[in-house]
A and B are shown apart, each in its own frame.
Chain A
Amino acid sequence: NAGVTQTPKFQVLKTGQSMTLQCAQDMNHNSMYWYRQDPGMGLRLIYYSASEGTTDKGEVPNGYNVSRLNKREFSLRLESAAPSQTSVYFCASHVDGPQHFGDGTRLSIL
């Protein structure tokens, strides 16, 4: 069971570069989420998608865009990366029970 798969696992960007983080789930879940996790802090919601074709802002959406490509895939895009976006990014999905998480993308912006 793959569950939630995130790519890439690590990435280093320069300020101003763009980047798309990929997420795919194979559990036929309707809802998908993007979170960021900063040192010593809990996860903060960036965007979520309640179902295919819909997306909504979370707590910290500024500087990000998302695309719900199909039921399986939900991507997060940084159009012009800033050092404040250095973080670990987690994707999650669920249909009725608890949210299931991927292992994250560690993103550093210099």
Chain B
Amino acid sequence: GESVGLHLPTLSVQEGDNSIINCAYSNSASDYFIWYKQESGKGPQFIIDIRSNMDKRQGQRVTVLLNKTVKHLSLQIAATQPGDSAVYFCAEGSRRALTFGSGTRLQVQP
């Protein structure tokens, strides 16, 4: 089956800096992409999503960029805070059927 992968398993940033988490996908038929945040002992928490007919979408302190040409997805977090420390997952497919990547751990240094 198709797979979704992440370039970096662990990302360490300074508090206040911007964070960028990257994700590569391989299914060109995917029309929906989503980012989740998972804290220790909790379930995945929705952050932001984007349809394939868009290349950028912004939320509160977060931006998702989609480059369909190179099958690349990224999550940008502005002014990273200690509370942003978690594992971040990308997923692709459709709203009904998602394929998840293995996750990137974001560590925020004070």
* A→B interface (CB under 8 Å): 4, 31, 40-45, 48, 50, 59, 90, 92, 94, 96-104
Contacts and interface: CB of A to CB of B under 8 A. Distances in A.
Nearest to A35: B100
A42 B41 contact: no
A45 to B, nearest CB: 8
B96 A104 contact: no
B44 A90 contact: yes
Contacts of A103: 41-43
Interface of B: 1, 4, 34, 36, 41-46, 49, 89, 91, 95-103
B101 A42 contact: yes
A98 B43 contact: no
6 closest A-B pairs by CB: A42-B100, A101-B43, A98-B46, A43-B100, A103-B43, A101-B44
A42 B98 CA distance: 11
A31 B96 contact: yes
Nearest to B42: A103
A32 B89 CA distance: 20
A96 B71 CA distance: 24
Given A101-B43, A103-B43, A42 B49 contact: no
Nearest to B32: A98
Nearest to B103: A42
A48 B97 CA distance: 9
Contacts of B34: 98
Given A42-B100, A42-B101, A98 B89 contact: no
B34 to A, nearest CB: 6
